[in-house]
Structure 1
Amino acid sequence: MVPRRRRRRPWHRTRAYRLTRTALLAVVLVTVVARCEGDGDVTAPGGPDGPDTVAAGRAHAAPSTRPTPPPRPLPRSRPTSLRIPSLGIDAPIIGIGLTKERELETPPIDKPKLVGWYRGGATPGEQGAAIAVGHRDTRTGPAVFAGLASVKRGKQIEARRADGRTAVYTVDRVKVFDKASFPDKEVYGPTRRPEIRVITCGGLFDRRSGYTSNVVVFAHLTATK
C-alpha cells in the first residue's frame, strides 16, 4: 500500500509564523505601556503640584540653598530692656552683681517687673553667656517671668542695648534644675558663641525656704538689628 503524501501546511499556520507574531505583539504592547506611563508624569506648569513638577520627562531641580552664616558677636554694651514676644514680655533691665555669699542677686522684690542682668558676664550679643534674672511672683501677685517655663523652643528673645542695637536670640531648650544640685558650669560656664540664659524660680514653693528649683531658658544669638 502506497503511503499517502502529507499536505504541506499554509505559511500562516506554521509554528515559525506564530512565534514571530507573538514576539511582534509583545514589542508593540511594551511600547504602548511605556508611552502611557510616561504621559502620566507630565504636569503642565501651574498645575496642582506647581511649576516644580516633572514636565516633558525632565524634572526641575530645586535651587540649592546655603545655610545662613551665624551673626558676628557684638561689642560690649549694657542692655536696656528684654522682650519675649511669645509671652508678651517687654521689661526694663537693671544691672546686678553677687551677694556676700557669692550668689547671684535678683532685682528688688518691690519692683517685680524688672529684669536683672549680671554685670560680671557677657552683654547681649557679646561672645559668651549673658545672664538675665527675674522674679516669678511676689506676695502681691505674678512677676515679670511668671510664664517663663512655658516658652517654646524656636521662639525669640530680644535684648535691646544702650548702643541702639538689638540682639535676637532663638530658644534652644528650657530646663528645670533643683537648687540643691544647680549645674553652675552648664548655666554660667563659657560658650563658643553668643548665648543668653534667662532664669527664674520654679518647682515647689515653701513659705520658709521659697521655691525648690530654677527655670533656665537656653538660647543662642541668631540675628542682630
Structure 2
Amino acid sequence: MTRTTGRRAPARRRYARPLLLCAVLTTTVGACATEGARSAPPAATASHVPARDPGPDSTDSRDPARVPATKAAPVRVSVPSLGIDSELMRLGLNPDGTVEVPPPDKGMTAGWYTGNARPGEPGAAVIIGHNDTRFGRAVFHDLKGIRKGAAVDVRDSRGGSVRFTVTGTETVDKDAFPTEKVYGATRERTLRLITCDGAFDAAGHPVDNLIVYAVAR
C-alpha cells in the first residue's frame, strides 16, 4: 500500500478506472491522446502518491513522485518477440488526480507509473504506452501481437534486469476498466502493460484498452 500524506483524496468516483484516451487526429492515423487517464487506481493502492526527494536515478523531471536514491528505478522495457525496446519515463498523477500518460511527442517512450510497485518487487508494476499518436506509430503499436509465454524484460538504473512471462491479455471496454485487477494489491511480482485498442467510436476514439498481464519467474 502506498504511504499516504496529508493530501486530500479526490472523490471516489474519480478513481473508478484508469484509461488511455485515444483520438484520430488525421483521417488516416489513430492516436492515443494525452488527455490524461480519467481516473487513478483505487485508494487502497495509489490514491495518494507521496512526494519523495529526487535521487540520482531520476530519468524524468516531470515525475511528481521520486524514487529514493536507495532504490534502483526501472529505466527500460523490452519485449524481444515483438521487437519492442523502450526507455521508461516516470508517470505520476496529474493535478486533477488522473494518471499521467506519456506526452504525444514521446510516443515511442513508455512510462512506469510510480504510484504502484517497482518491477520485480511484490505487487503490480504498471507500464503505460501509446499505440499511436499524431506523430505516427508509437511504442506499443504491435503489443496486440503478444502471446502467452512471451518474455518482457525490465532493466533498472543499476544494470539489474527482471524477466516477466506473459500469463494472458485482456481487451476491455474503456468504460469497464478492471481497476482493482490491474492496480490492486498482490503478493506476486507482477507486471501490467497498458495501451489503446479496438475499433473507433463516432468521435474517433478507440473504444478499448489492451492489458497485458505478466509475472516474474
Is 1:175 the counterpart of 2:167 in the alignment? no
TM-score, length basis structure 1: 0.63
Matched, 1:195 2:190: yes
Q: Pick 1 or 2: higher relative contact order, CA cutoff 8 A, min separation 6.
A: 2
Greater shift, 206-215 or 180-189, is seen at 206-215
Q: Does 1:104 align with 2:99?
A: yes
Which is greater in Rg? 1
Q: Deviations over 1:164-211 (max 9, x none)?
A: 110100000010111111110001101121000000001122473622
Corresponding residue SS for 1:187: helix
Which residues in structure 2 correspond to 1:134-153 (within 5 Å)? 134-153=129-148
Task: Please list every run of 5 or more consecutive structure 1 residues that lacks an aligned counterpart in the other structure.
Answer: 1-74
Q: What corresponds to 1:85 in structure 2?
A: 80
CA distance in 2, matches of 1:209, 1:84: 29
Secondary structure of residue in 2 paired with 1:83: strand
> Equivalent residue for 2:32?
none
2:216 counterpart of 1:221: yes
Q: Alpha-carbon deviations, 1:71-97, whole Å to 9, x = none?
A: xxxx94211100000000110000001
Aligned amino acid, residue 201 of structure 1: C
Higher percent of residues as helix? 1
SS at 1:120 equivalent = coil
Partner SS, residue 110 of structure 1: helix
Alignment match of 1:184 (pick from 171, 179, 184) = 179
What is the rounded CA distance, in whole Å, between the counterparts of 2:213 and 2:76 in structure 1?
18
> How far apart, in 2, do the equivalents of 1:174 and 1:137 lie?
19
Shift of 1:99: 2.3
Q: Which runs of 5+ in 2 are unaligned?
A: 1-69
SS of match in other structure, 2:104:
coil
Q: Give 1:124 deviation, angstroms.
A: 1.0
| Residue identity matched to 1:204 | A
**Alignment partner of 2:170: what SS?**
strand
Secondary structure of 1:180 counterpart: helix
- Classify 1:76/1:196 alpha carbon distance in 2 versus 1 (closer, same or farther; 3 Å): farther
Given residue 184 of structure 1, which amino acid in structure 2 is its aligned partner? T
| Contact 1:79–1:123 under 8 Å retained in 2 | yes
Q: What secondary structure sits across from 1:185 in the alignment?
A: helix
Aligned length in residues? 148
Equivalent residues of 2:104, 2:134 under 8 A apart: no
RMSD across aligned positions (CA): 1.5
Structure 2 counterpart of 1:125, from 108, 117, 120: 120
Confirm or deny: 8 A CA contact 2:152 2:163 kept in the other structure.
Answer: yes
Q: Write out the 4+ residue segments of structure 1 that deviate beyond 4 Å after TM superposition.
A: none
